[in-house]
Structure 1
Amino acid sequence: MSDLTSQVLSHLDPSSINAIAARLGVDPAQAEAAIQQAVPLVVGGLAHSASTDAGADALHSAAADHAGTDIGSVLGSVLGGGGAGGAILGHVFGGQQGQAAQGLGQASGLGAQNAGQLLAMLAPVVMSVLGNMSQKQGMSPGGLGGMLGQELQNLGQSSNGGLLGSVLGQAGGLGGLLKMGEDLLASRGRV
């Protein structure tokens, strides 16, 4: 599992998972399994967004806006029905937001509507962790893009690679996803 993904998942304790399950009306075990697929999907979408210089600059700016936030407070807000998850997902997936929810819904058994809600709950948490990481490590836009490229490459080689490849629309499935990660790393001078 990749570093950003692991850090996000480490903030989702059993009580948070139970609260997410209750909001979705599903069993906690199903919610936890879906979260294990959803977080890498959001992270992969962020990496895809940062695959251009303009995208990396925009994401760096957005991450800075989320830096310094307390993850517990962010979780409390999204579990209470707040947060800007929908807006974040619009920037992350663009026109593929429905495809992301559909793909996660099928893979997790949640259905597209619940999967969309789950993604909207997790997006602010992912952005807050990313913002805090970026701030702590003093990342430039290029450094952030490079880190996400490595993250994407690692995720593409994991069990989530198929879902990521289908949602991000890469020709060639997993091979295209890995190529995108390699290209992003090369463009950031990390290969």
Structure 2
Amino acid sequence: MANKSELRKQALTQRKSLTEDQADQLNEALLVAFKTLDFSNINSIHLFLPTLHHNEPNTFLFIDWLQLNHPKIDLVVPKANFETNTMSNYIFKDLADLKNNHYQIPEPQNAKPFNGVLDLVLVPLLAFDQKGYRVGYGKGFYDRFLENTDTQKIGLSFFEPVAQINDVHLNDIRLDKCITPNKIYSFV
């Protein structure tokens, strides 16, 4: 068992130690696993946009694959409000519409707001446990975003789960699944 602060530090160090080739291989393995999901009843997918210099899973690969293989699915990306720690959703337009914010996170600039229902949300994380709880960067953006939604929540992780996060809070939202390079974990 470990607490979120310890896990956050460990995960950031572990990610930072990845070479570019290792990160590319892990991203490809995540994409291969992602492709096995059932998209037949999916009309919209929220994807976080990665900060690649932090070696986050590269969801741009997922966007490319979805646009090619499932063009009818609305791809939705977030824009953060750091004063309120909330996010708003926009339909992904193209790479040219993205600009890095103050934290170097790509965000849409001129995209159309998305006000529909999300069928699936890809959730960023640093670590997760065998019960489906996750460790993020600590601001609670995704917990707030997901607290009143009934959508499928899928994490993406380069690494396997820890046994248990020992400081889970009541407002922490559990994942339904988490995709790793080796396995898709289900927590439902």
Higher RCO, 1 or 2 (CA under 8 Å, sep at least 6)? 1
The answer, yes or no, to whether TM exceeds 0.5 is no
TM-score range, shorter chain: under 0.3
Higher helix share goes to which structure? Answer: 1
